[in-house]
Amino acid sequence: MKTLIKSAALAALTAGLMTSVAALPAAAETLKFVSWQVDDGGMGDWWKAAIEKFEAEHPGVTIEFTKVERASYADTMTTLFAGGQPPHIVHLASFEYQNFAENGWMENLDPWLEKDGIDLAGWAGQGTCRWNDETACIMMLYFGFMMAYNPQILADANVEVPTNYEEFLDAARATTKDLNGDGITDQFGTGHETKGGAGQYLTEMLNYILDAGAYWTDKDGNITIDTPEMVEGLTRWKTVVEEGLTPVDMSAGDVRKLFADGKIAMRLDGPWLYGTMEEGAAADVLEVAKPPFNPPLGGSSNVLGMASEISDEQKELVWDFIKITMSPEFQRSYATVAGNTPPSPAADVSGVEKDVPHFQIIVDTQKAAAAAGIDRIPTGLEIQYGEFGKMVQEEVQRMLIEDLDPADVVKTMQEKAEAIQNG
Amino acid sequence: MKRSPLQTFLLYACVVVTLVIILFPVYWLIVTALSTTVELSGLPPSFWPEMPQWGVFTKVWNERPIPLWLLNSALAALGSVALSMVVSVLAGYALSRFNVRGGHGLGLFILTAKMLPATLLVIPLFAIFRQLGMIGNLWTLVLAHATLIIPFTTWMLKGYFDTIPRELEQAAMVDGCSPLGALWRVILPVSTPGLAATALYAFVLSWADYAYARTFLINSQDSWTANLGIATMRGEYTTDWNEISAAAVFVALPIIIIYLFLERYLVGGLTAGAEK
Amino acid sequence: MSKSGIFDLARPSRQHILGYLLLAPAVFLVLLIIAYPLLISLDLSFQDVKLPRIGETRKPFTLTNYQRLFSSSEFWMACWVTLKLVAAVTVGSLIVGVSTALLVNQRFAGRTLARIAVALPWAVPEVIAVVIFAWIFDSSFGLMSWILVKLGLADGMVAWMSTPGAAFWALTVTMIWKGFPFVSIMTLAGLQSIPTDYYAAAKVDGANALQRFRWITIPCLMPVLGVTLVLVMLWVFRDFSIIKVLTEGGPLKSTQTLSIMTYDQAFGFFKFGYASAVGIVTLIICVVASLAMLGRGSKALY
């Protein structure tokens, strides 16, 4: 009896382990598509609609749409490419695709665009997709920042919605409070990520740095950190963090939740903040305004491309899928379904503001940021962005921990950035 | 030996204080699952939510394929337990009983599996398993997990076998037992605590894996393990920690049950040891 | 399988052959899963390569990676941090693990439950454990700061993750919590295998509890504890997920271990050649450390 149970268990185990082999799809062709946006309310629905349309137009072809969480995304994609099995449809953040393109792993899309006579003039952020004089990808999103705020907190502190940095700082100071009197701050004027990845840390700082008129590099890729403007930008960041106007050591995700639950007065963020706002405890009161900073922070977000080493038939199919996402129909639903600003200049976004009340604001800041040529990825440091970001984050943290003078910090950063750029 | 009332009191006091400290984070996990985000980000911290959100458990269970994830994790873990037990009993016995030349070196070589940073293993392993056509297959996980388990279990079982007097099996071999027969009939029965600990270790290690599952099972949602499933519950912009915590409770439960079951055997060694 | 064949192998002169046969499966698995990646990493560490493609032609041989490594202060800092963390977590886990095992080895009502409770942190997946501790060590609403403030040990909320010393200790506490149950379970299993008549005999000889612990319990636990400690040590050396999520190696690299450095260089900065060099050096340090601990331990024992 005992042996019978044992062998039955063994058989079940073997069968279970093998199912994954047996379950291989029988379809004629399967395109692999990995993304971190599968479960994201708006974006996930938008991708799924595009896949549905593609599959309806290509009977027998299926797209396998799998989620890999953002935190492990770059690692996983690196493993897939380096291990020799990249996904057919390549979805990457706009600050990480460059290393893949540099290795020749992404198909040059110029011939495909030419073949179909597609002109990308005016396509927001598409310049970021040019790599080594080729079009390595299509920009999916170029966004502008907005400022979401909590009118109740502002009214309680008797301050108006700020329209410039000085007013913003005053409002943040006035709304940072210890509500229950236990000596610990429990309501914050604003909120920034100050722990975690360098990418987000730099993005949060850029709000102040851009407004101070500074940036990491110029258009030719020369490092421009050692400037009076950058000193001013860093001083602002130091002020906000040191005065405790933001909760410390929080990830951006937790800051967004705090804001949505009504414990932060003002939060500068991209259009995606809206989804979190709607779910929080303070959802009914929160409002959105133009950011008080000029130029507003904007930037490219994510790109779509194809792997270079797949068969020509597969490339045709992937290209068809990319074209669907670029079609006027899907560029419009990028706004209506996903609540984002579509990059296509031809996208018809009329009437979107009925569903997404702040839509005009993010369209305006997207245009303002694009006009000022703003992006989070500095020209001339694309390949080294990971290392550069980590260096900047560390030097800024050193400035905060050891209370260093921003005027000295910019000199160190300039030196180190040049060393990184020269490899 | 009888304890005095004071000793008894001190013993219980120690036990209670220790358990409170050790269990507090687990308790906090449950509180996190049952709280709203507003309650979590407030001071003073609330030690029990005012309105426990029990619905979060049913919500997570209904929205995610948790039974499937648990089944996959269980299959991978049981496979790893079986494979690593067989391999490490043999290897541990060899290291303990046979004067294999360079045995110590081989033993250390096996231990290298625990020394190379996982970061460097992932890409080459992916390439091997791709060439073997094993990507997306739970067997791949079993092989990879077993390799992580065997170094420890081999050394641990060698330690156990070393404490068992050689006279026991010599007597058996005089009676006509082969060395393997002696291992099976004499050594293993008195090594129950070691074997139970080995099985537990193997199970927990396989159950806790995330990195290998992330790499090898990427494109096959049907074979996702529990930890991989939980990881995919993280969003790009925000994460619902209460839902993840609830899912984590489901994932921790099977290990507790396994431990409940194996604990007896860990204790069972008491009598076996007394007979030695 | 002929009986005489096995008997042949059982003969003292042939025993080592059987020994090798028994070791073969373990060695084969390790060769398959470890040796190949190891060779690849070794090969990459001698090339100036950013993002590799397995199976492509290799780049010219160079020692640049190692030269850069040994002349970089970052590497020596990572070595120092790793050493500190390994020492703190291993010693902490040993103390907490052995004392909890001795505690739940006593007879008392609810002992089984207590044993399960002690093992519980082990069952909580690392990814989840880190999330719990991240909340506890949160700098704005965390419980730990609040307790310290209430006890009068801190003036205000502690900025755990942006104070180098605090971040290191937060990390150490988290890792001990995750690491001690393993020591505890192994000690418990070890305690069970000590024959009770050893204690009875010692009592007859008039040994007190402390002497019995020193002369019976500790020596009997040594074989198990030795391997267990090496395993805990290697776990800290290699751990990646706890540090990555809790501190990312910061602030100011105060928690950047060799394993985090390897990861950052490889997947963060796409310098696989350099990362492989860090990994190989880590491996060598691990081999030397394990040799020192196991070699000595095992010789002293028998």
pLDDT in tens, C202-248: 888 888 888 888 888 888 788 778 878 888 998 999 888 889 888 88
CA distance A246 to chain B (A): 14
| Nearest Cα residue to C227 out of B83, B150, B89 | B150
Task: Report the range of poorest mean pLDDT among A32-46, A124-138, B29-43, B59-73.
Answer: B29-43
The one-letter amino acid code at A78 reads: T
CA distance C134 to chain B (A): 11
Q: Which of A20, A257, A260 sits opposite B136 (nearest CB)?
A: A20
pLDDT in tens, C102-122: 998 888 888 888 888 888 888
CB contacts, 8 Å: B75 with chain A = 13, 16-17
Q: Residues spanned by CATH 1.10.3720.10 within chain B?
A: 65-275
Chain B contacts in chain C segment 224-283 (CB below 8 A): 224, 226-228, 230-231, 234-235, 237-238, 240-241, 258-259, 262-263, 266-267, 275-276, 278-279, 282-283
DSSP annotation of A302: E
CA distance C282 to chain B (A): 7
Chain C contacts in chain B segment 176-205 (CB below 8 A): 178-180, 193-194, 196-197, 200-201, 204
State ipTM: 0.84
- C-alpha distance from residue A93 to each of A99, A134, A139, C34, C105 (Å): 11, 18, 10, 32, 54
Distance of alpha carbon A250 from alpha carbon B236, whole angstroms: 15
Contact call for residues B240 and C112 (beta carbons, < 8 A)? no
Task: Tell me the β-bridge partners of A299.
Answer: A143
C neighbours by CB contacts (3+ pairs under 8 Å): A, B
Contact call for residues B99 and C16 (beta carbons, < 8 A)? yes
Contact B23 C117 (CB under 8 A): yes
- C-alpha distance from residue C268 to each of A6, A71, A276, C74 (Å): 47, 12, 28, 16
CB contacts, 8 Å: A66 with chain B = 218-219, 221
Domain layout of chain C by residue ranges: 74-301
Distance of alpha carbon A154 from alpha carbon A170, whole angstroms: 11
Average pLDDT over residues B26-31: 88
Calculate the average pLDDT of chain A: 88
- C-alpha distance from residue A226 to each of A376, A423, B271, C232 (Å): 18, 20, 75, 46
Q: Tell me which of C53 and A130 has the higher pLDDT.
A: A130
CA distance A340 to chain B (A): 14
Give kind and range of the element (H or E) at residue A32.
strand A29-35
Contact call for residues A50 and A82 (beta carbons, < 8 A)? no
CB atoms within 10 A of CB A96: 20
pLDDT in tens, A352-393: 888 788 888 988 998 898 888 888 889 999 999 999 999 999
Average pLDDT over residues B13-24: 90
Q: Where are the alpha helices (DSSP H) in B164-240?
A: 166-174, 179-182, 188-190, 192-208, 211-216, 226-231
Residue A8: pLDDT band with limits 50, 70, 90: low
- C-alpha distance from residue C200 to each of A182, A422, B193, C204, C214 (Å): 58, 73, 21, 6, 15
Task: Tell me the β-bridge partners of A90.
Answer: A305
Distance of alpha carbon A265 from alpha carbon A151, whole angstroms: 8
CB contacts, 8 Å: C234 with chain B = 111, 114-115
Q: Tell me which of C146 and A190 has the higher pLDDT.
A: A190
Question: For A64, phi and psi rounded to 5 degrees?
Answer: -90, 110
CB contacts, 8 Å: A404 with chain C = none
CB contacts, 8 Å: B136 with chain A = 20
Distance of alpha carbon A224 from alpha carbon A414, whole angstroms: 7
| Nearest Cα residue to A125 out of A299, A286, A383, A246 | A299
Q: Which of C36, C192, C231 sits opposite B269 (nearest CB)?
A: C192
Distance of alpha carbon B227 from alpha carbon B225, whole angstroms: 6
Write out the two tokens for A15.
């069968």
Q: Tell me which of B198 and A403 has the higher pLDDT.
A: A403
* Max mean pLDDT range (A222-231, B44-53, C45-54, C145-154): A222-231
Q: Does C286 touch chain A (CB under 8 A)?
A: no
pLDDT of residue A21: 44
Contact call for residues C134 and B39 (beta carbons, < 8 A)? no
Whether the predicted pLDDT of A153 surpasses 80? yes
Q: Does A181 touch chain C (CB under 8 A)?
A: no
pLDDT in tens, B96-151: 888 777 777 777 777 777 787 777 888 888 888 888 888 888 888 999 899 888 88
Contact B98 C16 (CB under 8 A): yes
CB atoms within 10 A of CB B236: 20
pLDDT of residue C300: 37
Distance of alpha carbon A226 from alpha carbon A215, whole angstroms: 10
pLDDT of residue C54: 78
Distance of alpha carbon C54 from alpha carbon C44, whole angstroms: 10
Task: Report the range of poorest mean pLDDT among A7-16, A99-108, C76-85, C161-170.
Answer: A7-16
Task: Tell me the β-bridge partners of A64.
Answer: A32
pLDDT of residue A409: 95
Please name each of the domains of chain A with its CATH number: 29-143+300-361 (3.40.190.10), 144-298+372-421 (3.40.190.10)
pLDDT of residue B6: 87
Task: Report the range of poorest mean pLDDT among A7-11, A291-295, B185-189, C35-39.
Answer: A7-11
Distance of alpha carbon B112 from alpha carbon A298, whole angstroms: 48
Contact call for residues A237 and A110 (beta carbons, < 8 A)? no
Task: Tell me the β-bridge partners of A29.
Answer: A61
Whether the predicted pLDDT of A176 surpasses 70? yes
| Nearest Cα residue to C169 out of C205, C202, C145 | C145
Q: C-alpha A123: how far from its chain's center?
A: 18
Residue B270: pLDDT band with limits 50, 70, 90: very low
Average pLDDT over residues A411-415: 95
pLDDT of residue C5: 47
What is the Cα Rg of chain B in Å?
A: 23
CB contacts, 8 Å: B114 with chain C = 231, 234-235, 238, 286
Whether the predicted pLDDT of A150 surpasses 90? yes
Q: Tell me which of C128 and A172 has the higher pLDDT.
A: A172
Average pLDDT over residues C30-45: 87
Query: What's the 3-state SS for B216-229?
Result: HCCCCHHHCCHHHH
Residue B274: pLDDT band with limits 50, 70, 90: very low
Contact C132 B119 (CB under 8 A): no
Contact A19 B234 (CB under 8 A): no
Distance of alpha carbon C21 from alpha carbon B97, whole angstroms: 13
CA distance B56 to chain C (A): 17
**Helix, strand, coil % in chain B, rounded to nearest 5:** 80, 0, 20
pLDDT of residue A13: 57
Q: Tell me which of C127 and C39 has the higher pLDDT.
A: C39
The residue assigned the tokens 């000193």 is A231
CB atoms within 10 A of CB B25: 21
Contact A40 B232 (CB under 8 A): no
Domain B65-275 has CATH 1.10.569.10: no
The residue assigned the tokens 């792997």 is A307
| Nearest Cα residue to C265 out of C127, C85, C81, C68 | C68
* Max mean pLDDT range (A209-213, A373-377, C37-41, C102-106): A209-213
Residue A15: pLDDT band with limits 50, 70, 90: low
Residue A1: pLDDT band with limits 50, 70, 90: very low
Contact call for residues B198 and B157 (beta carbons, < 8 A)? yes
Whether the predicted pLDDT of B1 surpasses 60? no
Which chain A residue has its CA at the smallest distance from B43's CA? A186
Distance of alpha carbon B141 from alpha carbon B132, whole angstroms: 13
Contact A78 B220 (CB under 8 A): no
Which chain B residue has its CA at the smallest distance from C104's CA? B15
Task: Tell me the β-bridge partners of A302.
Answer: A93
Average pLDDT over residues C15-42: 85
| Nearest Cα residue to C86 out of C179, C6, C9, C163 | C179
Q: Does B74 touch chain C (CB under 8 A)?
A: no
- Three-state SS at A217: strand
Contact call for residues C268 and A390 (beta carbons, < 8 A)? yes
Residue C32 burial (10 A CB sphere; 0-12, 13-18, 19+): middle
Q: C-alpha A335: how far from its chain's center?
A: 16
Give kind and range of the element (H or E) at residue C82.
helix C73-104
- Three-state SS at B90: helix
CB contacts, 8 Å: A397 with chain C = 162, 250-252
Q: Which of A103, A183, A194 sits opposite C162 (nearest CB)?
A: A194
- C-alpha distance from residue A173 to each of A154, A190, A248, B43 (Å): 11, 9, 15, 20
Contact C36 B124 (CB under 8 A): yes
Q: Does B142 touch chain C (CB under 8 A)?
A: no
CB contacts, 8 Å: B82 with chain A = 13
Q: pTM to 2 decimals?
A: 0.87
- CATH code, C74-301: 1.10.3720.10
Average pLDDT over residues B160-167: 81
Residue A90: pLDDT band with limits 50, 70, 90: very high
Whether the predicted pLDDT of C278 surpasses 90? yes
Q: Does A12 touch chain C (CB under 8 A)?
A: no
Q: How many CB pairs under 8 A join A and B?
A: 116
pLDDT of residue C56: 76
Helices and strands of chain A, counted as H and E runs: 17, 13
Distance of alpha carbon C66 from alpha carbon B218, whole angstroms: 34
